[in-house]
Amino acid sequence: MATKVYETATIYLIDGTELYITPLKLKFLREFMDVFEKVKEADDDLEAMAYLSECARVSMKQYHPAIQTIEDLEDNVDMPTIYKIIDIAAGIKVADQESEIKEQATESGSTWNDLDLAKIEAEVFLLGIWKDYEELEKSMSMPEIISTLASKRELDHEEKKFLAAIQGVDLDKESGNSQNKWEEMKARAFSGGQTSDPNDIISYQGSKAGQAGFGIGMGLDYQKVD
């Protein structure tokens, strides 16, 4: 069975219109999460439900732009459908259960506070597919970004393993200190096996010298003293 990157669903408006929904692109997810934080601060369940409806309305900017107001939303979807929208749009499971809506939202663990989104976007942006961050946020959802980032890091690690193996280093075996081993391996490679210290001046040769802007072969010489 094929592995899913994210969950999808088909929902139906009251008039029978069928909508295929997927996780929100970052452009809309930002606005969604700003509203969802207000659910946690609501005075009662009635106010919390109003904010949940607003989250669903924001989601409709991606799913069905013709629904623009809360009144439009209420005319087209029922509460079970709103719960399904919240679940698929942002991976937040809130349902009509015994516990209060506000309590469920608070316990959902969904927040921006612990997420360095700027750093994540910057790493993915290095793939060079998008002309700017706005285009990236319009085209990628959070599950897509996480999946892409995981694949990118895995490919980077495999490349490092291959280069390390050439130098006789098993990165998997040395995983407890893999970053240091990687830097030491590069130092040995750039210095022709003369040092494994990445701070040793003789490791600043070739492409490493070019990256640093100085080094052996770039107007800098050295004398090895025994």
Residues 138/140/141/146 CA torsion (nearest 10 deg)? -150
Residue type, 113: N
pLDDT at residue 206, rounded to an integer: 46
pTM, 2 dp: 0.66
pLDDT at residue 64, rounded to an integer: 97
Stretch 138-149: mean pLDDT? 90
pLDDT surpassing 60 at residue 160: yes
* Alpha-carbon span 111 to 32, nearest angstrom: 11
pLDDT at residue 163, rounded to an integer: 81
What is the per-residue pLDDT across 61-74, written as a single tens digit (0 to 9) for each?
A: 999 999 999 999 99
Q: Domain extents for the chain?
A: 9-107, 116-166, 172-226
pLDDT band at 93 (very low <50, low <70, confident <90, very high): confident
Which H or E element spans position 10? strand 9-12
What is the per-residue pLDDT across 171-217, written as a single tens digit (0 to 9) for each?
A: 666 555 555 655 665 565 555 555 656 555 454 444 444 444 444 34
Which residues on adjacent β-strands are paired with residue 21? 9
Nearest alpha-carbon partner for 137 in 52, 62, 55, 53? 62
pLDDT surpassing 90 at residue 3: no
* Alpha-carbon span 133 to 122, nearest angstrom: 8
* Mean pLDDT taken over the chain: 78
